[in-house]
Structure 1
Amino acid sequence: MDNIKDTVLEVVKSILPITIVITVLQFTLIWLPMETFLQFLIGVLFVGVGLILFLLGVNIGLLPVGEMIGAALPKTKKLWVIIFFGFLLGLVVTFAEPDVRVLSTQVEQVSAGAIPKSILILSVALGVGIFVALAMVRIIFNINIVYLLTVGYGLIFLLAAFTPQAYVPISFDSGGVTTGPLTVPFIMALGVGVASVMKGKSASSDGFGLIALASIGPILSVLLLGVIYG
């Protein structure tokens, strides 16, 4: 019950400010049709209920399962198993990420189908999967994350020079949407789980940084997509 109460309060605190601001604007400046404003209020209610159910699902299911999987993989003592399933889980969780689907739909509409929705989702998912696998390698071999981030962003700026300009903002937005409400808790839990059971690793220092790496993958993959399509 405490978990439900805390989740409800968290959601109310999140959506109440924007609801108040829109309401004040409605009756002072913008004066939208009342039907539209009522639709907004109904939408706020649906969003609130949806967020409560979603966050409860994350806390009850995704986080514990992610940590358990992360803790179980090193016990196989097979490097390829940890890396492969890191890649696979990064791939499939991105397919389920709602933010990625919203972005891909809008890009397909704006580009009049020049950038297909399915291709963009696949590119983003592959980028996340590859870099989650790389994050597993970082944890196992204790590689300094600064080096990986430096090389990653160096490649991004290099590729951006050869990619059509239309793909550059899309690529950075793709990196942003992967840090959504589904991908972040699961991938972080996975990293913490792996680091927590490996000797000489700290869950607080080695288990984090996965999201920073995972956001680089989609940027690179969409830039490469621009090079190919461009």
Structure 2
Amino acid sequence: MTSEFKEGLIEVVQAVLPITAVVILLQVLLISMPWEEFARFLIGVLFVMSGLLLFLQGVKIGLLPMGEAIGAELPKHGSLIFLLFFAFILGYAVTMAEPDVWVLAGYVDTVSEGMVSRYILVLFVALGVAIFVTLAMLRIVLNIPIAYIFAGGYTLILILSYFTPTDFVPISFDAGGVTTGPVTVPFILALGLGVTAVLGGKSSFNDGFGLIGLASIGPVLSVMILGIIYS
């Protein structure tokens, strides 16, 4: 067993053990649900731990190195349009692959009884992430202070919240949250760090981070716009 695998196993145990311990205490001291259901819970915990362990290994072996490699290659072509175009495509594609987004869209589809299609919602969320990942890349290249984009983005959110139907406001903020999932975060962070690594005068610490915060603004705005369209 390699040291990386051992570290991943420890991380998974530390992540899952607290909630498992809480549920066990509740079962013993308070809830006392049928033991068949509790046994299914314990089996589910084992499946979750196995899945997380495999996922973390996949992220370390594949997603992070590939994201950094792509981010390092794109600026070498010397075209800002080329960089921004593929930043948009990658932001869109990685959001479409994010399971958290589909879970949220499925619940919205169910609760709204099909009025808000899961596919339409995922499309708008992905477009929002793609646009703001593109803006994040532009910020890195042009050295725009990140505070300006945050201020502008959240000001626009506050303005749109007055025109968005009440039912869509909480959905829009949840959409911003689910984009910070296990697939999107490592890939976009690695992409940003790869870009800053090859651009002269850029700091990986100052310029490579903040992309996830910027990317989460996009879905909030796009779902609010979707709500206005539905209204």
TM-score, structure 1 as length reference: 0.99
Measured after TM superposition, the shift of residue 35 of structure 1 is 1.1
Aligned pair 1:181/2:156, yes or no? no
Cα distance in 2 for residues equivalent to 1:83 and 1:64: 20
The aligned counterpart of 2:69 is 68
SS across alignment from 2:69: helix
Aligned pair 1:171/2:133, yes or no? no
SS across alignment from 1:179: coil
Measured after TM superposition, the shift of residue 33 of structure 1 is 1.0
Bigger mean CA offset, 107-116 vs 219-228: 107-116
The aligned counterpart of 1:95 is 96
The aligned counterpart of 1:193 is 194
Cα distance in 1 for residues equivalent to 2:86 and 2:43: 41
Measured after TM superposition, the shift of residue 4 of structure 1 is 0.5
Partner AA of 2:61 in structure 1: I
- Alignment of structure 1 residues 80-119 onto 2, 5 Å: 80-119=81-120
The aligned counterpart of 2:212 is 211
The aligned counterpart of 1:37 is 38
Aligned pair 1:11/2:12, yes or no? yes
Partner AA of 1:181 in structure 2: P
Superposed CA deviations along residues 6-44 of structure 1, whole A, max 9, x for unmatched, are 000000000001001000100110111111111111111
The aligned counterpart of 1:150 is 151
SS across alignment from 1:139: helix
Measured after TM superposition, the shift of residue 114 of structure 1 is 1.1
RMSD: 0.5
Structure 1's unaligned 5+ residue stretches are: none
Superposed CA deviations along residues 197-218 of structure 1, whole A, max 9, x for unmatched, are 0011011110111001000000
SS across alignment from 1:205: helix
Partner AA of 1:90 in structure 2: G
Superposed CA deviations along residues 111-170 of structure 1, whole A, max 9, x for unmatched, are 111110000000000000000000000000000000000000000010010010000000
Partner AA of 1:74 in structure 2: P
The aligned counterpart of 1:127 is 128
Give the % identical residues. 60
Partner AA of 1:81 in structure 2: F
The structure 1 segments of at least 4 consecutive aligned residues displaced by more than 4 Å after TM superposition are: none
Cα distance in 1 for residues equivalent to 2:146 and 2:192: 13
Cα distance in 2 for residues equivalent to 1:160 and 1:73: 36
Cα distance in 2 for residues equivalent to 1:209 and 1:21: 33
Cα distance in 1 for residues equivalent to 2:93 and 2:40: 34
Structure 2's unaligned 5+ residue stretches are: none
Cα distance in 1 for residues equivalent to 2:157 and 2:54: 37
Cα distance in 1 for residues equivalent to 2:54 and 2:145: 37
- Alignment of structure 1 residues 41-60 onto 2, 5 Å: 41-60=42-61
